[in-house]
Each structure stands twice: as structure tokens, then as C-alpha cells.
């Protein structure tokens, strides 16, 4: 029996991928569970396993081939002792290396786009549209996520596509011109780096950013952290400053819900939970594991969960649901000595908080000049969804929670 292995869909939104490497060759005998190949998408590199014993009869797609469409046959395996008509099978992918678009200089792994109308979505994140509508949308350059379906149960149909405005194509990337005399090498972009470039450009071109900065005194927070860590020592928990900042942002979003939103075409999504995406550095980039419901969890639980997520991120073991989504982001570059920066929003989220280094500065305390530990925090807000006054209110609440940190414990 000949099994036809096809390019799998490794996520609900995947349409194509790169067949990065074959780990077998034609004629090799394989057993169920053996890894056949590595497949790279814009979010991750996945191992492709066989689910049957057999012999690799033919490799149809060469290693390094980019843009292989989901469902394209990539190899043939002959099942031992069988002789029947060919059938198709898709091996279950196993994540081995997570690569997502970063939040700071490159907004990370790329969550599935928010759909303009909830009625246009089926279960999960798949947009309901007829096959003809999908073909017309691709031909016209129309993003289905921006449409409201007029068919049964919100299904997008031909009429919806014909009445939709054609998408404006992004300008071609600039080509670097060199005289060839400067020593250099050409480095091929990985799928992750291509995603970084695309999402950075889209975010800065399509999302009108507004930046608001506050200086925040950290002394009370640092004192509370020390006391909490002493109390938590028997539990093996050690809070970081970042853990407390995550909690502060989550609580601030709960208190200023006008900032816990996403722009959604002719509507907005108002979130009822603070899911905080946190930038974590991994080999070759950044990924943003998500702390769901961070506003309702204790700082000890947040610290434990964040440590586990960061460890799995660096080991390449995060599952897609652990880094896709989130209602807002936090990126802390203070540990690298960065005093202040303006982060790029990670669509479809409406804001991101950029944290600078805490440092001793001259500071007016009770009307007198003194020395305090101060950090600068800058919120980047999607001005389509969040007014400057609402953004300012969030920054005010965030500052108050850090300077009077007992509010984080209740």
C-alpha cells in the first residue's frame, strides 16, 4: 500500500511552509514515530513524523523548498506487506523549535488575525466562507477577516467579495545597493525573520501609534518584593520585578477597560480578561508566552507560571496556545540597561508597555530633592481604538499600582 504524505497545516491559519530538511532518504526503512522531515512556518519549526512502518519510495519535494502549499504531496511511503490503491495520510507534527515575531523591535509570533464580525467565524479561528468566495478574495486581494458575511450563519459569499474594496498592496521592500567592495555575505532570511519584517511594516503602516511615558518610583515595590520573597522562600518562589510589573499592567487594564481592546474594522473587541503577552528572548529571536487572566492570579502564581513558560520557550517546547493571542503585551529591556524605548504594537492587540531600567535619579520626595530608584515606562497605544485620555489614565493607574504596590496583593 502506498501512502502519500502531504504538507500538513501546522496551525489554523497556515497556508504554506518551507520543507527545511529531510531526515531520511529514498530507500530508507522507517517505523511509526520516526521523524521524516523538519517543516518551517513563520511561527515554528516542526518535526514531521510517520504514523506507519514502511519504506520511503519517493521524495517529491526537495529540502529547502519554500512556499509549499498545505496539502501538497511531499513523499511516498510503501507500507510493508500491503498492496492496495494509494491513500493519503498526514503525520502529526511535533513542535521542536518555537519562533515567533518579537514584541519590541519585532512584534511576535503572530497570532491569527481578529475577524471583523464574530458571525463570520466558525468554531476555532476559521473564517466561514464559500470556496468561490475564497478564490475571489485571493484574486482581488481582499482580506476575509475584514468582511461581514451575508450568507447563512454569517458565511462569506460571492456578493460580499464583489462589494469589498480591493486591498492596497504594500510597497516592495527596498533593495540595498552596494558597490561590492565592502566585505559582506548574503544571509538568507528565516521564516521568522520574514515574519518580523512583514509584521513590523504592517504595524507601523496600518496602526497609528500614540506613545505616552511616565517616570515611576520603584522604592516601595522593591521593598515589598524583598518582604514577599522572604515569606515565599519556603515555597521555593522568588519574585522578579518583572513579575510584579506584569501584575500591575494586568490590574491596570482591568481598572481601565477602555485600553483592553482590539480595533476590529467597523467594531472593537472589548476584552473581559487581562491576558498579558510577555517578551522572552530565545535563540534567534523573541517569543511572547501568555499569562492568561493575569489580573486575577496571585503574584506568586504568576511568577511560577512565568518561570515555567520562559523555560519551555527557551527549550522550544511551547504549544501554540501558549504564545498565540493575548490582549496586551509587556516588554522589559531594563535588564540590558535601556533607559527608555517605544515598542511596536503587536496586532491585533491595542497596546504594549515598554519598561526601561530602574536607576537612581534625583527625585522630588515630599517637596524636597532627594535620590530615588526610578524607571521610565512607555505605553504604545493603537489610536484607532484607544483615545489619548484613556491611554493616559492607564499609565496613571499603572504608576500608582507600582508606587503603592499593596494594591497588587488585593
Cell output for 73:
504531496
Has 321 been annotated as catalytic? no
Cβ neighbours for 396, distance < 8 A, ≥ 6 positions apart: 214
Catalytic annotation, pick one of 184, 209, 321, 383 = 383
Coil, helix or strand for 321?
Answer: helix
Under 8 Å between Cβ of 338 and 356: yes
**CA atoms of 398 and 392, how far apart (whole Å):** 10
**CA atoms of 385 and 266, how far apart (whole Å):** 11
Q: What is the DSSP string of 217-270?
A: E-HHHHHHHHHHHHHHGGGT----HHHHHHHHHHHHHHH-GGGSEEEETTEEEE
Determine how β-strand 328-332 pairs with β-strand 351-355. parallel
Q: How many residues does the chain have?
A: 410
* Helix %, strand %, coil % of the chain (to 5): 30, 30, 40
76: enclosing H helix or E strand: strand 73-79
Residue 190: CB atoms within 10 A of its CB come to 17
Phi/psi region, residue 334 (left: phi>0; alpha: psi -120 to 50; beta: rest), is alpha
Under 8 Å between Cβ of 375 and 357: yes
Active-site amino acid positions: 383
Amino acid at each position: 500500500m502506498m501512502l502519500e504524505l502531504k504538507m500538513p497545516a501546522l496551525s489554523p491559519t497556515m497556508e504554506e511552509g518551507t520543507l527545511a530538511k529531510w531526515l531520511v532518504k529514498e530507500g530508507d526503512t522507517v517505523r511509526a514515530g520516526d521523524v521524516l522531515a523538519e517543516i518551517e512556518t513563520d511561527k515554528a519549526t516542526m518535526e514531521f513524523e510517520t504514523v506507519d512502518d514502511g519504506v520511503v519510495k519517493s521524495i517529491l519535494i526537495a529540502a529547502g523548498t519554500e512556499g509549499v502549499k498545505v496539502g501538497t504531496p511531499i513523499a511516498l511511503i510503501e507500507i510493508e506487506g500491503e498492496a492496495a490503491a494509494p491513500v493519503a495520510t498526514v503525520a502529526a507534527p511535533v513542535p521542536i523549535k518555537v519562533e515567533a515575531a518579537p514584541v519590541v523591535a519585532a512584534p511576535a509570533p503572530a497570532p491569527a488575525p481578529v475577524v471583523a464580525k464574530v458571525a463570520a467565524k466558525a468554531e476555532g479561528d476559521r473564517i466561514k466562507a464559500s470556496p468561490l468566495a475564497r478564490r475571489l478574495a485571493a484574486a482581488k486581494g481582499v482580506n476575509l477577516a475584514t468582511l461581514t458575511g451575508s450568507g447563512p450563519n454569517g458565511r462569506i459569499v460571492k456578493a460580499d467579495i464583489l462589494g469589498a474594496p480591493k486591498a492596497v498592496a504594500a510597497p516592495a521592500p527596498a533593495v540595498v545597493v552596494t558597490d561590492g567592495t565592502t566585505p559582506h555575505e548574503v544571509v538568507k532570511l528565516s521564516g521568522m525573520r520574514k515574519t518580523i519584517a512583514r509584521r513590523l511594516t504592517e504595524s507601523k503602516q496600518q496602526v497609528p501609534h500614540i506613545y505616552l511615558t511616565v517616570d515611576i518610583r520603584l522604592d516601595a515595590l522593591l521593598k515589598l518584593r524583598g518582604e514577599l520573597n522572604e515569606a515565599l522562600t519556603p515555597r521555593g518562589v522568588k519574585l522578579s520585578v518583572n513579575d510584579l510589573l506584569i501584575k500591575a499592567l494586568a490590574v491596570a487594564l482591568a481598572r481601565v477597560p477602555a485600553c483592553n481592546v482590539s480595533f476590529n474594522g467597523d467594531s472593537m473587541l472589548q476584552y473581559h480578561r487581562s491576558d498579558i503577552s510577555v517578551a522572552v528572548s530565545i535563540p534567534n529571536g523573541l517569543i511572547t508566552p501568555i499569562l492568561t487572566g493575569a489580573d486575577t492570579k496571585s503574584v506568586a502564581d504568576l511568577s511560577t507560571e512565568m518561570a515555567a513558560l520562559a523555560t519551555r520557550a527557551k527549550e522550544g517546547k511551547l504549544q501554540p496556545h501558549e504564545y498565540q493571542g493575548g490582549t496586551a503585551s509587556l516588554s522589559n529591556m531594563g535588564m540590558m540597561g535601556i533607559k527608555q524605548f517605544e515598542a511596536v504594537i503587536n496586532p491585533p492587540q491595542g497596546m504594549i508597555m515598554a519598561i526601561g531600567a530602574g536607576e537612581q535619579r534625583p527625585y522630588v520626595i515630599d517637596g524636597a530633592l532627594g535620590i530615588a530608584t526610578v524607571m521610565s515606562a512607555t505605553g504604545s497605544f493603537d489610536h484607532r481604538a484607544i483615545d489619548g485620555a484613556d491611554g493616559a489614565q492607564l499609565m496613571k493607574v499603572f504608576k500608582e499600582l507600582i508606587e503603592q504596590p499593596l494594591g497588587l496583593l488585593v
